[in-house]
Amino acid sequence: MQIQLPFSSFTLRNGLQLIVHEDHSVPIAAVNLWYRVGSKDERPGRTGFAHLFEHLMFEGSANVPQGQFDELLEVVGGINNGSTSTDRTNYWETVPSAACELALFLEADRMGSLPDAMTQAKLDAQRDVVKNERRQSYENRPYGLAFETMHAALYPSTHPYHWPIIGWMPDLDAATLSDVNAFFRRYYVPNNASLCVAGDVDAQQIHELAEKYFGPIPPAAPPAPVSAPLPALSASRASSLEDDVHLPRVYIAWHSPAMFETGDAELDVLGAAMSQGKNARLYRSLVYQNEWAQDVQAFQSSALLGSTFNVVVTARPGIELDRLVEAVWSELRAAARDLERIEVQRAVNRFETSLVDSLQTVGGFGGRADRLNHYAFYLNDPDGVQRDLDRYRRIEPDAVMQAAHTTLLDASAITLTVLPRARTSPLLVSA
Amino acid sequence: MRLANGLDLLVVTKSGLPVIDVQLVVRGGAVLDAPAKSGRASLTAELVDEGTDRYSALEISDQVELLGADLELRAGWDACFASCHGLSGRLAEMLDLLGEIVLRPRFPEDEFRRKHQERLHQLAQERDEPRLVAVKTLNRVVFGDDHPFGKPLSGTAATVASLDRSSLLEYYASGFVPSNAHLVIVGDITPDRALNLAEKTFGQWLRAAVPERDWSGVVTRPRATKLVDKPGAAQSEVRVGHVGPSRGTPDYYALQVLNTILGGSFKSRLNMTLRERKGFTYGANSTLALRRNGGLFSAGAAVFTDHTAETIAITVHEIDRIREEPVTTEEIERARQYLALGFMRHFETTSEIAAHLAELALYDLPDSYLQEYPVQIAEVSRAAVSAVAQRHLRPEQLAIVVVGDRARVHEPIEAIGLGPIDVWEAE
SS3 call for B393: coil
State pLDDT tens for residues B253-273: 999 999 999 999 999 999 999
State pLDDT tens for residues B33-62: 999 999 999 999 999 999 999 999 999 999
Question: Which residues does A135 contact at the CB level (< 8 Å), separation at least 6?
Answer: B234, B235, B302, B304
Report pLDDT for A427.
42
Report pLDDT for B205.
84
Measure the CA–CA gap between A106 and A120, rounded to whole angstroms. Answer: 22
Q: How many CB pairs under 8 A join A and B?
A: 190
Question: In this structure, which amino acid lies at residue A247?
Answer: L
Q: Which residues from chain B sit within 8 angstroms of residue A365, using beta carbons?
A: none
Question: Which residues does B245 contact at the CB level (< 8 Å), separation at least 6?
Answer: B251, B255, B290, B294, B295, B392
Sheet holding B399-404, edge to edge: B281-291, B294-304, B235-244, B399-404, B224-229, B421-424
Residue B400's pLDDT band (cuts 50, 70, 90): very high
CB B259 within 8 Å of CB B114: no
Measure the CA–CA gap between A94 and B386, rounded to whole angstroms. Answer: 31
Note whether B58 contacts A278, CB cutoff 8 Å. Answer: yes
Measure the CA–CA gap between B161 and B152, rounded to whole angstroms. Answer: 14
B10, HSE (Cβ side, Cα atoms, 13 Å)? 20
Closest CA to A243 of A131, A141, A166: A141
Average pLDDT of chain B to the nearest whole number: 94
Radius of gyration of chain B (CA): 23
**DSSP H or E run through B295:** strand B294-304
CB B244 within 8 Å of CB B288: yes
Note whether A77 contacts B265, CB cutoff 8 Å. Answer: no
Note whether A244 contacts B128, CB cutoff 8 Å. Answer: yes
Note whether B128 contacts A1, CB cutoff 8 Å. Answer: no
Report pLDDT for B180.
85
Report pLDDT for B346.
85
For A30, name the nearest residue in chain B, comparing CA atoms only.
B345
DSSP state of B204: T
Report pLDDT for B217.
63
Measure the CA–CA gap between A141 and B137, rounded to whole angstroms. Answer: 18
Q: What is the pLDDT along chain A (431 residues), one digit of tens a residue?
A: 788 899 999 999 999 999 999 999 889 999 999 999 999 999 999 999 999 999 999 999 999 999 999 999 989 989 999 999 999 999 999 999 999 999 999 999 999 999 999 999 999 999 999 999 999 999 999 999 999 999 999 999 999 999 999 999 999 999 999 998 999 999 999 999 999 999 999 999 999 999 999 999 999 999 988 988 888 898 999 999 999 999 999 999 999 999 999 999 999 999 999 999 999 999 999 999 999 999 999 999 999 999 999 999 999 999 999 999 999 999 999 999 999 999 999 999 999 999 999 999 999 999 999 999 999 999 999 999 999 999 999 999 999 999 999 999 999 999 999 999 975 444 433 32
More confident residue, B419 or A155: A155
Q: Which residues from chain B sit within 8 angstroms of residue A25, using beta carbons?
A: 16
CB B213 within 8 Å of CB B32: yes
Closest CA to B185 of B345, B66, B49, B361: B361
Q: What is the per-residue burial (b if ≥16 Cβ within 10 Å, else e) of B180-195?
A: bbbbbbbbbbeeeebb
Measure the CA–CA gap between B38 and B15, rounded to whole angstroms. Answer: 41
Question: Which residues does B43 contact at the CB level (< 8 Å), separation at least 6?
Answer: B115, B116, B119, B155, B160, B163, B168
Question: Cβ atoms within 10 A of the Cβ of A72, count?
Answer: 18
Helix, strand, coil tally for chain B in percent (to 5)? 50, 20, 30
State pLDDT tens for residues B115-139: 999 999 999 999 999 999 999 999 9
Measure the CA–CA gap between A24 and B180, rounded to whole angstroms. Answer: 38
Question: Which residues does B212 contact at the CB level (< 8 Å), separation at least 6?
Answer: none
Question: Cβ atoms within 10 A of the Cβ of B336, count?
Answer: 24
Note whether B231 contacts A28, CB cutoff 8 Å. Answer: no
Note whether B275 contacts A129, CB cutoff 8 Å. Answer: yes
Which of A93, A120, A132, A135 to mutate to test binding with chain B, by most B CBs within 10 Å of its CB? A132
State pLDDT tens for residues B139-169: 999 999 999 999 999 999 999 999 999 999 9
**DSSP H or E run through B226:** strand B224-229
Measure the CA–CA gap between A232 and B385, rounded to whole angstroms. Answer: 62
Q: ipTM of the predicted structure?
A: 0.92
Closest CA to B73 of B37, B107, B120, B35: B107
Shortest distance between the Cα of B302 and any Cα of chain A, in A, equals 7
**DSSP H or E run through B321:** helix B308-324
Closest CA to B259 of B282, B301, B289: B289
- A residues 52-71 closer than 8 Å to B (CB): 67, 70-71
Question: Cβ atoms within 10 A of the Cβ of A190, count?
Answer: 26
Shortest distance between the Cα of B352 and any Cα of chain A, in A, equals 10
Closest CA to B338 of B267, B401, B271, B290: B267
Torsion angle defined by CA atoms of residues A358, A361, A364 and A370, in that order, rounded to the nearest 10 degrees: 60
Report pLDDT for A430.
31
The predicted model gives B213-235 an average pLDDT of: 84
Sort A146 into a burial class: Cβ within 10 Å, 0-12 / 13-18 / 19+: buried
Note whether A79 contacts B58, CB cutoff 8 Å. Answer: no
- The answer to whether A289 contacts chain B (CB < 8 Å) is no
DSSP state of B367: T
Report pLDDT for A428.
39
For A26, name the nearest residue in chain B, comparing CA atoms only.
B348
State pLDDT tens for residues B188-212: 999 999 999 999 999 888 777 666 6
Report pLDDT for B216.
60
Residues in chain A: 431
Determine how β-strand B294-304 pairs with β-strand B235-244. antiparallel
A335, HSE (Cβ side, Cα atoms, 13 Å)? 31
Note whether B70 contacts A353, CB cutoff 8 Å. Answer: yes
Measure the CA–CA gap between B249 and A136, rounded to whole angstroms. Answer: 35
From first CA to last CA, the distance across chain B in angstroms is 45
Say which of A54, A107, A266, A343 is annotated catalytic.
A54
Residue A396 among the catalytic residues: no
Residue B287's pLDDT band (cuts 50, 70, 90): very high
CB A22 within 8 Å of CB A220: no
CB nearest to B19's CB, from A277, A348, A356: A356
DSSP state of B289: E
Report pLDDT for A340.
98
CB A214 within 8 Å of CB A14: yes
CB A16 within 8 Å of CB A205: no
CB nearest to B128's CB, from A131, A245, A345: A245
Question: Which residues does A143 contact at the CB level (< 8 Å), separation at least 6?
Answer: A243, A245, A249, A418
State pLDDT tens for residues B236-250: 999 999 999 999 999
Q: Work out the percent of chain B whose per-residue pLDDT is above 90.
A: 87
Measure the CA–CA gap between A216 and A210, rounded to whole angstroms. Answer: 10
Report pLDDT for A207.
98
According to the 3-state scheme, what is the secondary structure of chain A?
CCCCCCCEEEECCCCCEEEEEECCCCCEEEEEEEECCCHHHCCCCCCCHHHHHHHHCCCCECCECCCHHHHHHHHCCCEEEEEECCCCEEEEEEEEHHHHHHHHHHHHHHHHHHHHHCCHHHHHHHHHHHHHHHHHHHHCCCCCCHHHHHHHHHCCCCCCCCCCCCCCHHHHHHCCHHHHHHHHHHHCCHHHEEEEEEECCCHHHHHHHHHHHHCCCCCCCCCCCCCCCCCCCCCCEEEEEEECCCCCEEEEEEEECCCCCCCHHHHHHHHHHHHCCCCCHHHHHHHHHCCCEEEEEEEEECCCCCEEEEEEEEECCCCCHHHHHHHHHHHHHHHHHHCCHHHHHHHHHHHHHHHHHHCCCCCCCCCHHHHHHHHHHHCCCCCCHHHHHHHHHCCCHHHHHHHHHHHHHCCCCEEEEEEECCCCCCCCCCC
Backbone angles phi, psi at B211, to 5 degrees: -75, 150
Closest CA to B35 of B159, B134, B214: B159
Measure the CA–CA gap between B380 and B384, rounded to whole angstroms. Answer: 6
